[in-house]
Amino acid sequence: MSRLPSRILLENAKALLSEEKGTVKKPWGRNTTVVLVYPNRYHVGMSNLGFQSIYQLFNNLPDTLCERSFLPEREEHWELIRSQSVLFSLESFHPFRDFHFIAFSLSFENDYVNILTILKLANIPLLSSERGDEYPIVIAGGVCAFLNPEPLAEFIDLFIIGEAEEVLPRLLSVYQHHREKTVNKEILLTHLAQIEGIYVPRFYQVHYDSSGKIKSFKSRGEVPSRIKRRSTRKLDPFPTHSSVITPHTEFSNMFLMEVSRGCSHRCNFCTIGCVYQPYRKRSLEKLKETAIIGLKQHLKIGLIGATLSDHPQITSLCSFIIKEGGKFSATSMRIDLFDEESIRQFKKSGAQTITLAPETGSERLRRVINKHLSDKQIFDTLEMIAYHRFRYLKLYFLIGLPTEEAEDIEQLIELTKKIKHHLVKSQPRSRYPETITLSINPFIPKPSTPFQWHPFEHITSLKNKLRKIQKSLNKERKIVVTWDLPKWGYLQCLLSRGDRRVGKILMAAHHLEGNFLKAYRQVDINPDFYTYRQRELDEIFPWDFIDHGVSKQSLIPIYKKALAMNEPTKE
């Protein structure tokens, strides 16, 4: 492959850059250089606040230059092959080989196979063991990386375990210091592995027993036996907001800003409350300063946080934005914490959609997942929504949860019907809401949660439940049912719970152009071993070497208690 991109590829890149605001372009020279890669299309990557914040963080560091790259669109992919070009950075069109680091930002497990596609298009060897000193160090971070990095262990040189704000400056400082003495990658990685929150897979050995379970996971050399997940103690020194504005994103007219991080509610299925600890919130003063940056650009403010309603000054922030002549939208508000004032502010801001997450149709199953939300609280919130006449209502539900039975699916259907009838009855002469959309997702047992021992429900069973829900609600006016395909939930479960051997499946899927069904049959690994199998309580997990500040033993009684809640709700 040639170094220089073709004219078509250059014109496409220049067209994207011409419509961006906030792009950082630094001169090449003595800087440490990083190509930050999102393993999906430009449209998806630039919609991701985490990706944008890391771009900003890298470029705010002294003597550091960071540029971006993405999974090419299909036409660009074929143009790279046709023209024998290599994948390059967006800002300066440099090939990946010119950088010191290739840094992947990982938000979704199902993007893993795209990492291999990108490395191939950049003419970088896929396996870490095959990349000599002349190649950049390949690193990865993001929530997937610090939940369970092992399926990617053969492809990534170094993982950042935890939040990046305090790790990245230290990583680059140590690298710059030792690179003046040597370019030997093994020596450099040895020094980097001493940093808290850094995991270098090549310095750890895994052994399996005859049943395929992990027998031991041991470090070799002078590296820590356990990796402590790093968290940023105080958020205010690190404003997290959109750094590049472009029309080619899902939020083209929106300025995204993080309000809080983590969650204090600890639902048993959710990773946010388990691994983004402790719950932290930004001060109102700093939030106002950040909001002004977006308001000066005449952009709508997108408030980001797992549970925005937990912030004690969220209504004050919303009021400030409205008083300044702006509008806002919010990612998530807990049903039980909605109040009249917050809904009124949503309406003033021009919001047309309210999103609620009952998660399940039955109160019993909500108790199983540790979401203590009653039907009464749901309908009390609906009263306020009906009064303010929002056009759209979106409801999030999970299926395939532990202890779920046919009755729970029936209650999901009945709750949806009751919600619709309640809204119609509350405003009999109104056409609102125009649509109630159910978004139904299969439950994925995630690492480091109380449900990490539980199996993924069989795809056939999930399909039957989806058909039941769809058939039962098909004739209900105003109700639309959407869902994630169970086969993709299966893949996500495999990649989030797998060990290093799952890398063979990723490699096979890469060679088969993303056909995982063929890949499952081609390798000598049974994917059901990682998905459908009930894990033993004393089993060693691939991610047990990561210290999230919560002991594995402390999660066992929570799991047992959840499984014991299988008695139907008494009327």
Which domains does the chain show, CATH number per domain?
7-228 (3.40.50.280), 352-484+544-571 (3.30.750.200)
CA–CA separation, 26 and 79 (whole Å) = 28
The two beta strands, 158-160 and 198-199, are antiparallel
DSSP 231-274: --S-STTS--B--SB-SSSTTTTEEEEE-EES-SS--TT-SHHH
The pair of structure tokens assigned to 76 is 């660009």
Over its length of 571 residues, how does the chain's per-residue pLDDT go in tens digits? 556 799 999 999 999 999 999 999 999 988 999 999 999 999 999 999 999 999 999 999 989 999 999 999 999 999 999 999 999 999 999 999 999 999 999 999 999 999 999 999 999 999 999 999 999 999 999 999 999 999 999 999 999 999 999 999 999 999 999 998 988 999 999 999 999 999 999 999 999 999 999 999 999 988 999 999 999 999 999 999 999 999 999 888 899 999 999 988 889 999 888 788 889 999 999 999 999 999 999 999 999 998 888 899 999 999 999 999 999 998 767 787 778 888 888 888 888 888 899 999 999 999 999 998 999 999 988 888 888 888 899 999 999 999 999 999 999 999 999 999 988 887 766 667 889 999 999 999 999 999 999 999 999 999 999 999 999 999 898 999 999 999 999 999 999 999 999 999 999 999 999 999 999 999 999 999 999 999 999 999 999 999 998 899 999 999 999 999 875 444 4
Triad 90, 95, 96: Cα angle to 5°: 95
Task: Fill in the DSSP letter of residue 230.
Answer: B
Of 566, 537, 535, nearest to 554 by C-alpha is 537
Rounded to two decimals, the pTM is 0.95
Pairing of strands 101-105, 353-359: unpaired
Burial of 199 per CB tally in 10 Å (0-12, 13-18, 19+): buried
